[in-house]
Amino acid sequence: MTRSMLALLLLCSPAAAAGTISGPATVIDGDTIEVHGTRINLYGIDAPETAQSCQTVTGQDYRCGREAAQALSAHIGSGVVTCERRESTAAGGLAGLCLAHGEDLSAWMVAKGYALASRQVTPAYTRQEGQAWATRRGLWAGTFEKPADWRQDRRRMEASAGASAAD
């Protein structure tokens, strides 16, 4: 069966109605894609935000969030992405297990060191994260702030700036 036949079968199957979406993807950031107008967070991982910077082993800043998004985009290319709904996010979004070229995109991102395994969601990607850490791939080649911590610090700074402006 060809990939296009498989994609058509998935789109027309009962699974599509139950939470499977398939088609070309647009990368929003290192752990978020859009397929047919639906934003999907890659299940079980957390990648740096697009504006987030990290440091190389020599201490030079680089845009790790942008690098993660570019790597995901290059890996998907013009291929079809198929996502199976896993859960709704706290913000009301959708998380899905997404495949491109027959490969789990979350596993690939963590294995290449572009994202962290979200242990509170699933232990599925901890092995890939351990291997990325051991071989100093991607984020693990230098220093970085965990994306969740970076977002929290960013919100705190913004709230503090808003409070100062109101004084």
| Count of H-run helices and E-run strands, the chain | 6, 10
Which of 124, 98, 126, 121 has the alpha carbon at shortest distance from 30? 98
Question: What are the distances in angstroms from CA 162 to CA 57, 154, 159?
Answer: 35, 12, 5
pLDDT of residue 154: 85
DSSP 34-59: EETTEEEEETTEE---TT--EE-TTS
Please report, for the chain, the start and end positions of each structural domain, with discontinuous segments joined by +: 3-166
CATH number assigned to the domain with residue range 3-166, chosen from the 4 options 1.10.3480.10, 3.10.20.30, 3.40.50.300, 2.40.50.90: 2.40.50.90
Residue 152: alpha-carbon gap to chain centroid: 18
Q: What is the mean pLDDT of the chain?
A: 87
pLDDT of residue 19: 84
Which of 18, 2, 4 has the alpha carbon at shortest distance from 80? 4
Residue 122 phi, psi (nearest 5) = -160, 145
pLDDT of residue 162: 67
pLDDT tens, residue by residue, 33-86: 999 999 999 999 999 999 999 999 999 999 999 999 999 999 999 999 999 999
pLDDT of residue 8: 38
- Give the helix/strand (H/E) hosting 85: strand 80-88
pLDDT tens, residue by residue, 83-101: 999 976 666 679 999 999 9
pLDDT at 31 over 50: yes
- What tokens were used for 78? 């013009």
CB 33 within 8 A of CB 100: no
Whole-model pTM: value is: 0.82
pLDDT of residue 18: 53
pLDDT of residue 42: 97
Section 112-118 average pLDDT: 97
Higher pLDDT, 36 or 160: 36
Task: Determine the Cα–Cα distance for residues 101 and 106; give it in Å rounded to an integer.
Answer: 13
Grouping H, G, I as helix, E, B as strand and the rest as coil, residue 155 is helix
